[in-house]
Structure 1
Amino acid sequence: MVVVGSFNLDHVWSTSRFPVPGETRLGSFTCGPGGKGFNQAIASVRQGAPTHFIAAIGSDAIGDGAAALATTEGLQAHWQRCPTQATGTAAIVLDGQGQNLIVVGPGANAALSVEHVQAQAAVLRGARVLLTQHEVDPLATRCAHALARAAGVLVIHNPAPPVDATAQPALDGIDLITPNETEFAQLLRDHAGHDIAAAYLVQQEEPILHRLCRDLGVPTVIVTLGADGVFVSQANGYTRIAAEAVNVRDTTGAGDAFNGALAAALAGGQPLLDAVAQANRVAGLKVERHGAALAMPTRAEVRERFATA
């Protein structure tokens, strides 16, 4: 498994409710590793998949910490060091219901270069699965897709966070895409000419969702719908898998847990629907914990929590 993506140091403030503009609230503070790419890579490696991570960090103490943590986790990282850029950071505010507000300072992530990705061509060609997102330079992502596709590697793209169409990779270079309802609505606007609100999509009957998924032209579309489960659409049909019954404490990184676990399961040869079910369980256990990368569960923890084989 290979992840091309971001590393951020997450600064997290927790408070009973979100402040309104101009309001100051008291809360508590924690700090830890994150970034969509790193979260997904840690989720994958903790599910037992040999995982490579291609990313950019600054020549600073935060970057040194990222490199050390990757080694500790058994993640095979291929770092681009950027002496003129700070390592990426994120500010996260959590409310008492586990919902979050996030602002990201990309830093070195935006400088991940095509040249660095090309230098890892052998790693990409040797993979079974490539997983990407929207937190690094889109040219680097497109380069990774091209190298992987040429080698017959399964390309999974998590279109998060939402970005405008010019910063997205071409959909025809993707085998499997994993939007949530907001990202799905944007993809439909940008690539299929449908202007449909995310809240409206969640209410649609499954045949309508399936038809909309098919309009994207991607072989497999997996729409994550939070408490409404996961909708899987392929050319030969569709299915919905229910969300796990969990006690939500922190939704930060839930999508990353799902994507990393999904890619790990597919890289390990699991059938698609089995892989989705496993990813659902990993994401379910993640939201019962506070944090991002360090809150990703291991395969043994998921097996114990959900009594799976």
Structure 2
Amino acid sequence: MVTERIAVFGRANADLTVRVPHRASQGRTAFGSPLVVTPGGKAFNQACAVARLGGRATLVANAGDDEWGRMLARTLTEFGVDSKDFRLRPGVPTGAAIIEVTPDGESYVTFARSPSTDPTPSDAARVRADVVVAQLDVAAEAVQAIPRPRLLIGNLIPSEGVDLAALDLYVVNEHEAAAVLGTPHADAAAAVDGLLDLGIPAVVVTAGSRGASYGQRSGTGAVPAPQVKSVDSSGAGDAFLAALALDLSRGRPLPDAVAAAVLVGSRAVQQRGSLLRN
């Protein structure tokens, strides 16, 4: 089975993770575990997961030429990701995600952005692959500068000016879908219908422990997730998307690819950290 190269375009950062018995409330401190610093970022996680699942992955992203940035570069080598388009920028800091993980395995993330490492149109022009996964929360002009691949998959809430209808496939969780649709809440199946109405050719909406829903011109469907004990959900969506992109690159139909991706996502929540390691 031929696997095309998958390029992932977006952000790479350090994850600063603390496990807490509960989240802090106003005026009160929550005491947590020792801080753990690991490599992360949506695009970074997805590229590493593609490689871990046996695919050929390229990461197009930037980080600072500092301790955290060099940690990211070493990890790409460890996972076998093509890092020729991963750039360390001198004199700027690497971004960081501050992650709180509660006992039920849910993760709460605050992103400390480093604007100087944000992807640019010139970064996008380096993307060379038949299958591209693009994080849409970057500047619209950067997304628009990606050379048109055979399959363009978008992820996350888009920045202003991004044309979702230009995608081949849009993948979001149900909370992101609700934000895009301007509703207080949208379950996955309803969100699929709403997003398809925006002119997007194909849509997948994930719903955590409830699995995922999908839709395309030929119809819609849903895949339940197996019941597992969640340890850390911080990288599950990235593992799901990596598995989905990899199967689609191999010519697998969308319903089958979603079913396989749900299993990978369920596997990911059973391990700590945002990187798929087994």
Give the alignment's TM-score, normalised by structure 1.
0.82
Counterpart position of 1:258 = 240
The within-5 A match list for 1:268-283 is 268-283=250-265
- Asked if 1:197 is matched to 2:184, the reply is yes
The within-5 A match list for 1:167-186 is 169-186=162-179
Letter in 2 for 1:176: L
Q: CA deviation at 1:109?
A: 6.6
Distance in structure 2 (CA, Å) of the matches to 1:178 and 1:273: 13
- Could you say what secondary structure the match of 2:262 adopts? helix
* Aligned residues: CA RMSD: 1.9
Q: Deviations over 1:101-148 (max 9, x none)?
A: 211112157532211322x25xx2xx231101145444222212xx12
Change (3 A) 1:72 1:261: same
**Identical amino acids, percent of aligned pairs:** 31
Asked if 2 retains the 8 angstrom alpha-carbon contact of 1:109 and 1:136, the reply is no
Asked if 2 retains the 8 angstrom alpha-carbon contact of 1:7 and 1:109, the reply is no
- Asked if 1:98 is matched to 2:95, the reply is no
For structure 2, the 5+ residue unaligned runs are: 1-5
Q: Deviations over 1:245-284 (max 9, x none)?
A: 2111111111111111111111122222221111111110
The within-5 A match list for 1:61-210 is 61-77=67-83, 78-107=85-114, 110-118=117-125, 120-121=126-127, 124=128, 127-144=129-146, 147-149=147-149, 153-159=150-156, 162=157, 165-166=159-160, 169-189=162-182, 196-198=183-185, 201-202=186-187, 206=189, 209=191
- Asked if 1:33 is matched to 2:39, the reply is yes
- Asked if 1:12 is matched to 2:14, the reply is no
For structure 1, the 5+ residue unaligned runs are: 190-195, 299-309
Give the alignment's TM-score, normalised by structure 2.
0.91
Counterpart position of 1:24 = 29
Change (3 A) 1:285 1:211: closer
Count residues with an aligned counterpart: 271
Asked if 2 retains the 8 angstrom alpha-carbon contact of 1:97 and 1:248, the reply is yes
Greater helix proportion: 1
- Could you say what secondary structure the match of 2:110 adopts? strand
